[in-house]
Amino acid sequence: MIHDNAPIVTGNASILEGNSFKAEDAAALPDRERSLIERREARLGSAYRLFYKKPVELVRGHGAHVWDAAGDEYLDLYNNVPTLGHAHPAVVDAVTRQMSTLNTHTRYLHAAILDYSEDLCATLPGDDYQTMFVCTGSEANDLALRVGRTFTGGQAWIATSEAYHGNTALVTAHSPSLAGAEQMDPTLRVIDPPDTYRHGSSDRAGAAFLAQVRRAIEDIEKSNEGFAGLIADSSFSSDGVFTGESGMITAAIDLVHEHGGIFIADEVQPGFARTGEAFWGFARHGLVPDIVTTGKPMGNGFPVAGMIARHHVLEPFSSTRPYFNTFGGNPVAIAAAQAVLDTIHAEGLQQHALEVGRAFRAALSELAANHPAIGDVRGAGLYTALELVTDRDTKTPATSLGLAVIEGLRRRGVLTSVCGPGNNILKLRPPLAFAADDIPRAIDALDAVLSEAAH
């Protein structure tokens, strides 16, 4: 959907509201949970959201499993923040050792930040990338948008319709999934993701995506706003997980470059071996991003993130203004990040994600044969979408079913959530510790919940 010069983007803030506790759910809760929720709202305010009608009080985790305060264990199919797995010993040890030695900021020399930056850049296509460290993916994307505008001289960005890029003022204004609650940037152009399910193939989805990017650029060039570029998660995670076949979005990114824009690859969700086929989500498509942003999985839950930009793109920004982030790239954060990177390589987690992800989707596809509500199974590596529909011919989103399935899985000890505009797409994104032995439990729980819903 292409909007005119000053788009008013409408939406339902689905990324925060889809699988969300509501105040009216409190009456059915035990005294302890209700008391915690009341204290939470009193001290934290009402802007925060909780998962599930009966929120989970988690107190411990290990690998792809977590335990609540009552001692009940859950299989975590959603949490990519601890990308290696909950409480991974390599990260715990690295952080503990560095915290007991020194923690300060980046205005002192420290070899570890340089070692990590070199190791991280070695995973990227080309040797001209430079890193700037921050604490969160939101900060990384905020910085990336600023750097991109400085380099191109343009103001207008393109983003997809359910994209979420963070929660600073600038980044929120470029996150259309929040449009129901937040004012979008007046120069933002919003397009649909390459929906491989409804277009029927990666080729047709890629062609439709290319056409939308072309129309958005033409619209920008008719204005006096200037074209900055496109910011996208190459797996279109919040849009519904459209990984597609290799090269699906390459022509669209080439067009962005032909018109003087840059491509920001938001790798907060698909990066760090998640897709199995490549270390980075964008690498599946053979892309060379101008800027790469990282976040949550980078430190296995420790707050460390980064913006990695090609030298010539970063230079106009870095040569004209100083930048300082007190905690970005501090020695303890870098120790966590280095441990994650080293463990991914040492334990072969990219190959693990590839193999286990394929086995998981194969099992889900078998399950679909018995459940007409499963319209599509798609993904790459340990990043899978299960789309629920009311009718396979019309592909109508089964919103109420999606939310009911999430609740049913929670009751059976499996945690995940939904994405997409209809809240009907299960976002199955476990820690990389998720193993082949975990697959039967997930399948059995889904089978039981879908069978219950059908009857």
* Domains assigned to the chain: 56-86+349-454 (3.90.1150.10), 89-346 (3.40.640.10)
What's at 69, amino acid-wise?
A: A
Q: From the CB of residue 47, how many other CB atoms can be counted at a distance below 10 Å?
A: 8
Map residue 295 onto helix, strand or coil.
Answer: coil
Phi and psi angles of residue 330, each rounded to the nearest 5 degrees, phi first: -65, 160
Residue 381 falls in which region: left (phi positive, over 0), alpha (psi -120 to 50) or beta: left
List strands edge to edge, sheet with 73-76: 58-62, 65-68, 73-76, 414-415
CA-nearest of 259, 150, 253 to 194 is: 253
Q: Which residues contact 107 (CB under 8 A, 6 or more apart)?
A: 324
Cα separation of 333 and 417, whole Å?
28
CA 177 vs CA 239, 266, 416: distances in Å: 8, 15, 19
Q: Average pLDDT of each block of 10 consecutive residues along the chain (455 residues)?
A: 34 61 82 87 86 90 97 96 97 98 94 98 96 97 98 98 96 94 95 98 98 98 97 96 97 98 97 97 97 96 97 97 92 98 98 98 98 98 98 96 95 95 95 98 98 90
Rounded Cα–Cα distance for residues 315 and 19 (Å): 42
Q: Are 298 and 304 in contact (CB under 8 A)?
A: yes
Residue ranges with strand state E in 283-437: 291-294, 305-310, 374-379, 384-391, 396-397, 414-415, 417-419, 425-428
Q: Are 347 and 433 in contact (CB under 8 A)?
A: no
pLDDT at 15: 64
pTM attached to this predicted model = 0.94
Listed residue (286, 154, 177) closest to 237, CA to CA: 177
